[in-house]
Amino acid sequence: MVHLRIVVPADLTGEVLRALVQVPGACNVVVLRGAAIRPAGDMILCDVAREAASIALSDLQELGVPTRGSISVEKVDVALSSAAEAAMRAAPGEPANAVVWEEVEELASESTTLNAGFLIFMVLATLIAAVGIFLDTPILIIGAMVLGPEFGPLASFCVAVVEWRPRLALRSLAALLAGFPIAITAAFVASLVFKWTNLTPDEFSQADHSLSAIISSPDFFSFFVAFCAGVAGVLSLTTAKSGALAGVLISVTTIPAAANIGVSAAYQDWPAWRGSQEQLAVNLGTICVAGVLTLLIQRVIFTRRRTRHRREQEHPVRRRSPLLR
């Protein structure tokens, strides 16, 4: 369930109530007349099944509620109510697969900020991956994959493409275009320091470092894994399966590829340098394509439900709720 806290001017309260009670999956509608002070007006509380939340929010946005008042959305972890159970049964779809698009948009906006924290995590993850390449230790590579924050801007870019938000797309690209070069440069400098201080050998051979050879050799399976990871990553962000995101991060070799670019450049291993660049490009491009396709499918499903809901609202024999009499 999703809890809505709505503040509206008194003259808009009737329309908001009418919209809420016509949403399948809405229940526990409460009106507190004159309770709001800033902005002044009425407060309306409502619980909505997750799969119907975006339908309700779209109706409220069409009424101009965000402009004249406000809407706050909170997740309800436990709802002990027969009315809530009936509302969830009435809502179309399954709760675990439902997408609250307003929530996705908010997460996308938060994930695109190019700040010191993002760059620090990018650099740290790439440095750990570089050490993992030198030591040929998979556990360090896996740790670097989990630590890397690059999937946030990638997912935000997919959302921006589907919803045609050029500013969000540019912000996402800016984070990626700044983060990866800085992280690669850090890996390059660290590799030179390791080499000059004799912490690593003077020569670096892929024959002795199997992980480097794998990272710098993109093939069909690189594309396949990246595509699956892109789909799973977007699903983990748009549905209630956020726990799957860690597995997604471990599946793709974006951070290891960035680290291997820096390591290969430091040792002037140009075939591995080019192969790692290709690996990075394949992963980034495929994740974006998979993410956009997944969001488009989810958007089509939501649009159909929204269209069906609007037709039901316009049905001439629809009964009016007692709350509106």
Residues 6+ apart with CB under 8 A from 44: 4, 5, 6, 7, 8, 13, 16, 17, 20, 29, 30, 31, 32
Q: What is the pLDDT of residue 319?
A: 43
Strands (E), the chain: 2-8, 26-37, 40-48, 70-75
Q: DSSP for 98-123?
A: ---HHHHHHHHHHTT---HHHHHHHH
Nearest partner of 211 among 142, 280, 137, judged by Cα: 137
Q: How far, in Å, CA of 72 to CA of 84, rounded?
A: 19
Above 90 in pLDDT, residue 290?
Answer: yes
pLDDT > 90: percent of the chain: 34
Q: What is the mean pLDDT of the chain?
A: 84
**For residues 175 and 247, is the Cβ–Cβ distance under 8 A?**
no
Q: What's the pLDDT band for 39 if we cut at 50, 70, 90?
A: confident
Q: What is the mean pLDDT of residues 246-270?
A: 84
Above 70 in pLDDT, residue 289?
Answer: yes
* First vs last C-alpha separation in the chain: 27
Above 90 in pLDDT, residue 168?
Answer: no
Beta-bridged to residue 227, according to DSSP, are none
**DSSP-derived secondary structure letter, 145:** H
Residue ranges per structural domain of the chain: 2-98, 104-304
Above 60 in pLDDT, residue 265?
Answer: yes
Q: Give me the long-range contacts of 303-308 (CB less than 8 A, separation at least 24).
A: 305/55, 305/92, 305/93, 306/54, 306/55, 306/58, 308/92
> Dihedral of the CA atoms 42, 47, 48, 53 (nearest 10)?
50
Above 60 in pLDDT, residue 69?
Answer: yes
> Dihedral of the CA atoms 256, 260, 262, 264 (nearest 10)?
180
Q: What is the pLDDT of residue 250?
A: 65
In the structure encoding, which two tokens stand for residue 313, read together? 């609202």
Least confident of 43-52, 145-154, 202-211, 214-223: 202-211
Residue whose token pair is 């959302």:
159
Q: Among 157-161, 184-188, 300-304, name the most confident range.
A: 184-188
Above 80 in pLDDT, residue 321?
Answer: no
Above 80 in pLDDT, residue 242?
Answer: no
Q: Does domain 2-98 have CATH number 3.30.70.260?
A: yes
Could you tell me the sign of the dihedral formed by the alpha carbons of 207, 213, 214, 217, in that order? negative
pLDDT > 70: percent of the chain: 88
Nearest partner of 269 among 196, 325, 217, judged by Cα: 217
Instruction: Give me the half-sphere count of Cα atoms (radius 13 Å) on the Cβ side of residue 235.
Output: 16
Nearest partner of 16 among 33, 38, 39, judged by Cα: 33
Higher pLDDT, residue 56 or 188: 188
Q: What is the mean pLDDT of residues 214-235?
A: 88
C-beta atoms surrounding 213 within 10 Å: 16
Q: What's the pLDDT band for 279 if we cut at 50, 70, 90?
A: very high
